[in-house]
Chains A and B, each alone.
Chain A
């Protein structure tokens, strides 16, 4: 099977969208206890939440080395805690592929009912996923996709291309509303060598092109606040006139905003990416250039646990006609603005 990665990302099953939206909606009315602070976690709930057959879920993920990844693990743990019929067995997060393979093997030997794997490297972990599947353990593959669907039962992840598309469409829409012709649209990308950055940029370009616009000044940073500040400082010198700016990542966005503040610029509006709490707070306050952010939400980890439980209990998703859990679930990169920020506050993560 060629390019299952792109296939899986692009494929946008109706069922997948329904589950994603359902998870988000359900999360808004989640009965999660408020004392789970400092960071609230996104959770899913529904009719299937009633206790059923007991399920042991094994979980393996990379080290929580930045805010988004930390939120993934927190969300998974919190979601498992919501179910009285789930035992959650998590391994220590690691960025060492060999160690993660060993962890998955350990979980298989412990005879967990379902495995949830967020691989550090999807290709490298494919064999481990395959081994679990061969032993009759369903695997929920999260975000970084395995090389072949033979190695997983269900994949759930984000949609980088659509992140770019939605950012581009939002920016184009706002500019048209203001009646701006020939706008200068800047882009602060993440690490350029990563496929996810390429997909985000491609989606952004394509969406702008469809509206008759192009990307103007573009820099790539390293996903860190410092690199964001540095690259944006230079970018702002380059563009004396700017109408809009898309920054791929809310963590580096702290630096991007610092640079904008330092240059005392307010001639444009900015859209972020991922959906951190900092940025959602700024969007809500509406006191600066920050007007929106495009989600790439770690709530997918919560949904992955919910799916794993249903797989373990051999249930389907109530509202769908399907008897089975869908094979692919792609989360939707919603645009969070001042108008809807309150309904997304629960999926915000601390960067």
Chain B
């Protein structure tokens, strides 16, 4: 019996094989994920809010506006949570936007609306999960590079969404679905509750469970993870499954927001999610990252769009500002990384 009963690790931990130490050590589990990089990023966010407040003191910090920002952040935020898992595990998922489109179209067509809200929700989750698992199986068992496997899904999922919907916008007529997902709970929109729930569950999964530790291990050093007894292939497939499931949840949110399923839903989500994850400090090479960083990344972009519209500015310049923020944030992280390494 090598296991220490007083260990803080949950008992589901793998029986530690002799060489378990390196990957486990790579995971920043013990450290609460607040560090210089995150503080800097949070500074950018606060600064942005300050700009919003200074330019529109009458509109920015109102209950309606904050609720609007959070509601708009919800869908892309949920997708970004899944993307964070994939990128920490050393992969990339280019198909998230297409999976949102396919899930949303599937839940609003194929007569699912006539079977009631539960069928719609289950359908969206199942479609997302299955697409994600297909990505995962292709990547892990099929040995297809993540970039290529998810690129294939990017094209085919949207194509299927277009075929199913006939490129028509499917307006939701299911009253119960609309009443619930467009409604409030304790004065806060249900969409924001969903976002918070996904974030908390994702945070626990990543930072407090074996699944999360394995994700860091696989992304940090695949070979070491394999030697440590982790079923790397199965785990990778599951990580893409998580991302797909998140897309299913996001699809429900988009359908609720727009009251329609369309093959154009989730357009450019892959780019927005990757941008949010990367400026959130997650390494594109895998092995390290935080969900809090991703959350701030998503909020920065959503608030930016909000400030631009509040001040009636052109959207073209918004894209330039978005690019500048990505570069700034990454440069900032690079510098703080180096500073920390040299100490």
Closest chain-A Cβ to B184's Cβ sits at a distance in Å of 11
B167 and A238 within 8 A (CB): no
* B257 near A229: Cβ-Cβ < 8 Å: yes
Q: Nearest CB to that of A233 among chain B residues? A: B68
The A interface is mostly helix, strand or loop, or mixed, namely helix
CB-nearest residue of chain A relative to B101? A226
Closest A residue by C-beta to B264:
A224
A127 at the interface (CB under 8 A from B): no
Contact A225 B169 (CB under 8 A): yes
Q: Chain B residues with Cβ under 8 A from A254's Cβ?
A: 169, 171, 258-260
Whether the pair B312, A225 counts as a contact (CB closer than 8 A) is no
Residue A218, interface by CB 8 Å: yes
Chain A residue contacts of B257, Cβ below 8 A: 226, 229, 255, 258, 262
**Cβ contact of A222, chosen from B71, B260, B267, cutoff 8 A:** B267
Question: Is B265 located at the chain interface by the 8 A CB criterion?
Answer: yes
A residues near B310, Cβ cutoff 8 Å: 234, 237-238
In the assembled complex, A314 has its CB within 8 A of some CB on chain B:
no
Q: A233-B72, A263-B64, A278-B171 are in contact. Are A240 and B260 (CB under 8 A)?
A: no
Question: Are B167's CB and A227's CB within 8 A?
Answer: no
CB-defined contacts of A257 to chain B, threshold 8 Å? 259
Q: Mark A204-236, 1 if CB is under 8 A from B, else 0.
A: 000000000000111110111111111101111
In the complex with contacts A224-B265, A233-B71, A235-B309, A65-B167 CB distance below 8 A: yes
**Cβ-neighbour of B254 out of A217, A226, A234 (below 8 A):** A226
Given A225-B260, A254-B171, is A234 in contact with B166 using a C-beta cutoff of 8 Å? no
Chain B nearest CB, measured from A71 CB (Å): 10
Q: Known contacts A65-B167, A67-B169, A224-B267; decide if A238 and B258 are in contact (CB<8 Å).
A: no
The reply to whether the CB of B79 lies closer than 8 angstroms to some CB of chain A is: no
Fill in one digit per residue for B254-293: 1 if any A CB lies within 8 Å of its CB, else 0: 1001111010111100000000000000000000000000
A229-B257, A263-B64 are contacts. A234–B168 as well, Cβ < 8 Å?
A: no
Contact indicator per residue, chain B 163-199, by CB within 8 Å of chain A (1) or not (0): 0001111010000000000100000000000000000
Residues of B in contact, count (CB < 8 Å):
35
Q: Does A237 lie within 8 Å of B68, measured CB to CB?
A: yes
Q: How far is the CA of A238 from the CA of B64 in the complex (A)?
A: 10
A67 to B65, CA, bound (A): 32
- Interchain CA distance A257-B264 in the complex, whole Å: 17
In the complex formed, the residue of B with least CB distance to A350 is: B168
Interface string of B206-237 (1 = CB under 8 A from A): 00000000000000000000000000000000
Number of A residues near B (Cβ < 8 Å) is 39
Name the distance in Å between A239's Cβ and chain B's nearest Cβ: 9
Decide: A65 and B162 in contact? CB cutoff 8 A. Answer: yes
Report the bound CA distance from A216 to B310 in whole Å: 11
Question: Is there an interface contact between B258 and A64, defined as CB atoms closer than 8 Å?
Answer: no
State whether B267 touches A237 (Cβ < 8 A).
no
On whether A219 and B309 interact (CB within 8 A), knowing A224-B264, A226-B264, A233-B68, the answer reads yes
Residue of A nearest to B76 (CB): A230
Q: With A65-B162, A254-B259 known to touch, is A217 a contact of B62 (CB < 8 Å)?
A: no
B33 within 8 A of A: no
Smallest Cβ-Cβ distance to A227: which chain B residue? B267
Which of A222, A223, A236, A238 has the most chain B CB within a 10 Å cutoff? A238
Q: Which of A219, A225, A233, A236 contacts B262 (CB 8 A)?
A: A225
The residue in chain B whose Cβ has the minimal distance to the Cβ of A254 is B260
Which residues of chain B have C-beta atoms less than 8 A from A113's C-beta? none
By the criterion CB–CB under 8 Å, are A217 and B312 in contact? yes
Flag whether A97 is at the interface (Cβ < 8 A): no
- Are A258 and B258 in contact, with the CB atoms below 8 A? yes
Q: Does A70 contact B (CB under 8 A)?
A: yes
Within 8 A of A (CB), among B31-70: 56, 58-59, 62, 64-65, 68
Distance from B265 Cβ to chain A, minimum over Cβ atoms (Å): 5
In whole Å, how far is A347's beta carbon from the nearest beta carbon of chain B?
Answer: 17
A237 adjacent to B264 (CB under 8 Å): no
Cross-chain contact B56 with A225 (CB below 8 angstroms): no
A351 at the interface (CB under 8 A from B): yes
Contact partner of B266 (CB less than 8 A), chosen from A64, A192, A218, A226, is: A226
Cβ–Cβ < 8 Å partners of B316 in chain A: 192
Whether, in the assembled complex, A251 has its beta carbon less than 8 Å from a beta carbon of chain B, the answer is: yes
Q: A258-B260, A350-B168 are in contact. List 20 more A-B contacts (CB 8 A).
A: A64-B167, A224-B264, A224-B265, A226-B257, A226-B266, A226-B267, A234-B72, A234-B306, A237-B64, A237-B65, A237-B306, A237-B309, A237-B310, A254-B258, A254-B259, A255-B257, A255-B259, A261-B259, A262-B71, A262-B182
11 A–B contacts from the bound complex (CB under 8 Å): A217-B309, A217-B312, A218-B312, A223-B264, A225-B258, A251-B169, A254-B259, A258-B260, A261-B182, A263-B64, A278-B169
Residues in chain B within 8 A of chain A (CB atoms):
56, 58-59, 62, 64-65, 68, 71-72, 162, 166-169, 171, 182, 254, 257-260, 262, 264-267, 305-306, 309-312, 314-316
The 4 closest A-B pairs by CB, nearest first: A234-B309, A224-B264, A237-B65, A258-B259
A positions within 8 Å CB-CB of B = 64-67, 70, 192, 216-220, 222-231, 233-238, 240, 251, 254-255, 257-258, 261-263, 278, 350-351
